[in-house]
Amino acid sequence: YQPQSVGALLVRAAVKAKKTDDFKSLCESRLKQPLGELAARVLLGQLALATRDAAATQEQLALLSERIKLDSLQNTSELACHVALPAITLPDAPPIAIELVAQAVDRLHKSIQTSRGGGQQEPVTSLTFRLAHHHFQQNKTAEGKRLLDSYLAIQGPMWSNYGGDYPAYQRKLAMLKIAGEFARAGLKAESLEMFGRFADATTSRDYQVGGPGKEGAALLNGLAALGATERYELLSGWSLPTKDRLSVRIITGLVTADRTPRAFDTARGSTPRGPQAAQLNSTLDLLIAAAKEANKLDDLQQQLAPHAKANIENAPLALAMVQIAKGEGTQAAPLLTELIATRVKEAAANTQNRRERRDTAAHDAVLARAALLDNDPDVRELGRTLTARFIEYTQRVYDQQMMPAMRHASRSALMGPDRAAELDAQAADVGLKHWVAGSNAAATDQQQLSLPQWWVAHDGMISHTCGMGYDQLYLSYPLTGKFAVECEGIVGLWAEGNIGFGGLVFQGLHGGTNSISIFPAGRRNETVTRPDPLERGNNFNRIKIEVDGNVVSYRINGSPIYSMKQMPGTSPFFML
């Protein structure tokens, strides 16, 4: 939430035109009008900020603070923050600005508690966390924690108009957000405690949290900065069963890539930088890594063994992971075999192709990845089989993030960490002569999940082994004049090979749909559709682009599909 208004634009225009005195006079003339006083006061505050007039800023903030005390309308609190929030960011932020935001947040919380404004997340969420962040920066930990406790308490009234598990789902999301804020403030114990509450909170399968996201990344990155012994003590206490919780806590998910330019590192404060590419991670991975560094693997195994024998939730999985980490993967083989058999039965029983997701499905991924790295070839083979079953599951439930992430994780395990890191760092250079890698994924898609792309060429075939769905290979040389390019592309489940030219992607092979798509690279919202041609499923199909001057034609298995005239200046590069 960032306050935006026409008033702010008007203030900037007045400053640029050197008409601030005229603008100030117009605003002051409205102060005596009951319906115009508040808006005029906000504009005068914005003008004071724009002209760097500290005294006038202080005066308007104080007057707005008095107005909030007398006016209980939510709109008044929001408008006051149009002045107070920008003032907070000043190097010498006036204390009255903090007080005003605190007044507004308190008013919004009380309004929601009395069911006025239920279901409206903004601006209360952004204002609450902005103020809490400020408290933590000023070492006012108690005030920040009290504010976030209040935010968690209003989740019930905020979502009281919604039925089913939706309020519980939103409360769980709030716990995750609060855990992330604690982590960014360096409050590791508080962050872990709230992260545990998030892990223990249950919702129906209709409302599942996909993973820990950026909030979990803040916590995990903070833990990674601790010493091994301290990290092990924190994570083992958090993970292992207690008398009140008969389960091994495990949270598994994707930690999104941190693509923020290095120039902004000074603005991070104590928050550590995250991974450069999205990573499949889990609290169990972190626990085992900490135990290994602290020479505590035997201790962890001894603690898990009785829980696994009693079949406590997640304990057999955790024990198997420890056994693999100790180089005793053969002891984990029975569990892997049993798990694979269970997944085969589940897939066979799903005759209606239901897309119901399992809460703990991602646990299979971390176990499979660990098995792929084992020294025993039989255990590695079990890891490959479990990986294949997990990818089949992600295809069935249309998990477009976990599927490519698991492909990358499994390929990395097969290549080894050093070689995988080399491939990840190559970016556009994927090692294929005359070809450059690229992607037409939108920035919003890359923010959610960004993975390096790997391509393999062998014996006349090119395969996209891992990466995102919008990755392409571009021929390094421009093509002009009259020519044709013909090749064969596969039609598989979530694996279709297509081509493009002139800045357009021709998605003619697309199993399971009744139409083909033609769209500009990076602009899927401008798609043109055509009837789906006859194609061979789970097989290769011949695709061809013909260019004659400014006319581009597209064929599949010899049948003409699409033809168009190119505009002058279009891209002359062919893409796969």
Scanning 373-435, the segments in alpha helix (DSSP H) are: 377-396, 402-415, 417-425
So what's the pLDDT on residue 273? 61
**Is residue 79 one of the residues assigned to a domain?**
no
The most confident of the ranges 111-120, 203-212, 418-427, 436-445 is: 418-427
Helix axes 95-113, 74-88, angle to 10 degrees: 150
Q: Are residues 491 and 529 in the same domain?
A: yes
Instruction: List the one residue out of 348, 284, 365, 281 whose CA is nearest residue 319.
Output: 284
pLDDT score for 398 = 80
pLDDT of res. 371: 94
Say if residue 462 is in the same domain as residue 483.
Answer: no
Above 80 in pLDDT, residue 469?
Answer: no
Does 339 fall in a domain? no
* 488 plus 512 within the same structural domain: yes
Residue with the bigger pLDDT between 226 and 199: it is 199
| Res. 208 pLDDT band, cuts 50 70 90 | low
Does residue 546 belong to any structural domain of this protein?
yes
pLDDT in tens, 241-256: 999 899 999 988 777 6
Q: Which residue has the higher pLDDT, 213 or 295?
A: 295
Query: In the chain, pLDDT over 70 holds for what percent of residues?
Result: 89
3-state secondary structure of 279: strand
For the stretch 279-334, pLDDT in tens is 777 889 989 999 999 999 999 999 999 999 999 999 999 999 999 999 999 999 99
Residues 482 and 458 in one domain: no
Summarize the chain as % helix, strand, coil (round to 5): 50, 15, 35
Q: Is the residue at 527 inside a domain?
A: yes
Q: Is 306 exposed, middle or buried (0-12, 13-18, 19+ CB in 10 A)?
A: exposed
Residues 452 and 542 in one domain: no
As a whole number, the mean pLDDT across the chain is: 85
Q: Which of 466, 493, 526 is the last residue of a domain?
A: 466
Looking up tokens 């992330």 gives 180
In a domain, residue 492? The reply is: yes
The percentage of residues in the chain with a pLDDT greater than 90, rounded to a whole number, is 35
User: pLDDT-derived band of residue 447, with 50, 70 and 90 as boundaries?
Assistant: low
* Average pLDDT over every residue of 551-557: 91
Residues 450 and 482 grouped into a single domain: no
Residue 142 above 70 pLDDT?
A: yes
Maximum distance among all alpha carbons in the chain? 84
- The total of structural domains in the chain comes to 2
Range of the domain at 433: 426-466
pLDDT band for position 164 (50/70/90)? confident
Q: Is the pLDDT of residue 117 over 60?
A: no
Does residue 442 form part of some domain? Answer: yes
Across residues 361-367, what is the average pLDDT? 89
Q: Per the structure block, which two tokens stand in for 167?
A: 């309020």
445 confidence band (pLDDT: 50, 70, 90): low
Classify residue 277 by burial, with Cβ atoms within 10 Å: 0-12, 13-18, 19+.
buried
CATH of the domain at 546: 2.60.120.200
What is the band of 530 on the pLDDT scale with cuts at 50, 70, 90?
Answer: confident
Of 443, 466, 489, which residue sits at a domain end?
A: 466
Could you tell me if residue 417 is inside a domain?
Answer: no
Do 482 and 571 sit in the same domain of this protein?
yes
| Residue 21 included in any domain | no
| Same domain? 462 vs 507 | no
Q: For 501-505, what is the mean pLDDT?
A: 87
Residues 523 and 545 both lie in one domain: yes
Pair 491, 570 in one domain: yes
